[in-house]
Every structure is written in C-alpha cells, then in structure tokens.
Amino acid sequence: MMRADRASRVPAPLMTMLLVLVVAASIGAAVRATQAGTAYTHAIEQWRAARDAELRTDEGWLTLVGLFWLTEGRNTIGGAATNAVPLPATSAPSRLGVLELHAGVVRLTPDPGTALRTNGKPASAQVLRPQPGDYDALTIGSLTFFVIKRGDRFGVRVRDRESPARREFGGLRWFPIREDSRIRARFVAHATPTTIPIANVLGNVDLWPSPGYAVFTLDGRECRLQAVLDGADAKELFFVFRDLTTGQETYPGGRFLYADMPVNGDVVLDFNKAHSPPCAFTPFATCPVPPKANHLGVRIEAGELNPHR
C-alpha cells in the first residue's frame, strides 16, 4: 500500500519550478516597488528644482526690494530718499513723477523726459491697474514697480533684477524625501458656503473661502487642516499651517501646501512639497499666517527647511 505522505509529495522538478516562479515573482514585485519609489523621488526632485528656479526668475520673490504704502493725494516717486516712493538711488533718477491716490484710484503723471515705461511703452499720464488681477507694470533700467491693493490700502511694490538677494541666493534646503509623508487624508466638505478669517503679516484680516478640511492621523494623533481657496478661479486646495518644526527646522512664519481637489472624499497631502511663504525670502511680501485651526501638535519632518538656518 502506498503511504499517504508519498502520495501527496510534489515531484522534485516541479517543486524547483514552483520555487523559481515564487522567487521571480518576489523579485519582480521588489523591482516594481523600487521603480515606483525611484519615479516618485525623481518627480519630487523635479518639483523642487522648478521651485528653486522660479525663485531665481525676474518675477521671483528674490527680486523684491521695496513696498511703499500710498497716502491719499500726491505721492512722488524716484531715487531720492525724500520721495514718498523712494526707489533704489543707484537705479533710478532722483524723481520720475507722481502717483496720485484718490477715492481708490491711482493715477500716474510721469515727469517730462524720463525713461520710464508702462507695459513696455513710453509712460504717459494714466490710471494704473493694481495687483491682484491684470496690472500695469512700470519699468526703468533694472527696476520694475507696480501698484498693489491689500484690503483698503494701496501700495507700490518694487522689483530689481540686480537685487543682492538674487545674486547671493545659495539655493533651497529640504528634509529628505519620504514616501510616507505623502498622506491620503479624508476630506470633510462644509455643509454650507464657509469663510475663515486669515490674517497676514501686516495684521490685516481677510475672509478666505473654505470648501472644507482634511483629516488624517500622524504619530497616533488625529490632525485637521482647514483648506482655503487662493483666488476665485482656484484649481487646488491651499493649506497655510504650522507644526512643531516651525521656528526650529522650518520657517517661523509657517509653511504653505497645495493639493489637488478631493476625489471620492479623499485628498492627498504631499508634505514633501510643503514650502516656505514668500516672506521667508523678502520683507516686502504680505503673506497670510497660519490660522489657529491649522496649528498642528506634531512634527512634520518633510518639505522645505528654513532658508535662514
């Protein structure tokens, strides 16, 4: 009589083939995981390189050299320190003209014979459109300046293509890329249209539209981040937050994070892309600061490091 254990034994050649297939499948899975990880790392590296390059452009935050608030009435502009809008003396004549603010409208009157240009053409007397939105850019030499509107205030923001900050910029620094810092969070939409108050570094408070908040678990703690929309035509969620690295490894004013709109109730928060606000690179930006609801009691060791450490 054939013994039961011998009747169920797999022939040696077949066993060898099965082992080969199992090993090959394991190796294939490991290779695919490695390839996926390498592709993800490469994508983050490309994103970070693009951010670095954007900072270095003519329109990057490193070229911002001045912000001057206009008063009602006449505001002279030029290189002399006595002007209401004093431009860098090495790059502009002592006086270029006048910006007159009246009832929320800013009108330029250039002095005769200046090399000032508006939107690439010789400057003439005209009303200037402020930023945000389509705005009028004034240029002379390496300088570009334009009117901005923040709440009820109007100011002039000045850029210099030859700014020391741009020339001396040594590049961004980052935490190491970690795939587990790409978190799939649950997105809870507000039941009714909602706005949340967010202050900026000037102390002004604006109401930002908020579609909802993200919920996720980190280090065993449930975390929530309120999302806002950065503009009427926003295609992404915007998070302004701080965590326990803020003021230590990362910028004291908090960090920004953008994310794709939620899909099926989920949103992906890739903290490897968390980055410093413009105020980390210039004192002339008007950055929003993290609302109290977005103060996280955990360390998020991912994303951009403080550029000043």
What was the pLDDT predicted at 3?
43
Instruction: Tell me what pLDDT residue 13 has.
Output: 65
Q: Under the phi-then-psi rule, with left for phi > 0, alpha for psi from -120 to 50, and beta for the rest, what region is 42?
A: alpha
Q: What is the DSSP string of 239-276?
A: EEEB-TTBTTTB-TT-EEEEEEPPBTTEEEEEGGG-B-
Q: What pLDDT, on the 0 to 100 scale, is given for residue 28?
A: 53
User: In the prediction, which pLDDT does 33 show?
Assistant: 45
Question: Mean pLDDT of residues grouped by 10 in the chain (309 residues)?
Answer: 44 61 53 65 96 95 95 96 93 94 96 94 96 94 94 93 93 96 97 95 92 96 96 92 98 98 97 97 94 97 94
Whole-prediction pTM? 0.81
Residue 122 carries which DSSP code?
E
Residue 232: the pLDDT is: 79
Can you give the pLDDT at residue 133?
87
Residues 6+ apart with CB under 8 A from 236: 230, 258, 259, 260, 261
DSSP characters over 148-184: EEETTEEEEEEEETT-HHHHH-----BPPP-GGGEEE
* Confidence (pLDDT) at 150: 87
**Among 63, 279, 61, 57, which Cα is nearest to 163's?**
63
pLDDT of residue 61: 95
Other residues' Cβ atoms within 10 Å of the Cβ of residue 8? 7
| Nearest one of 220, 227, 203 to 289, comparing CA atoms | 203
pLDDT of res. 19: 60
Q: Which domains does the chain have, with CATH numbers?
A: 61-168 (2.60.200.20), 172-294 (no CATH)
Strand partners, 110: 97
Q: Are 244 and 255 in contact (CB under 8 A)?
A: no
Token pair of 285, please? Answer: 């930006």
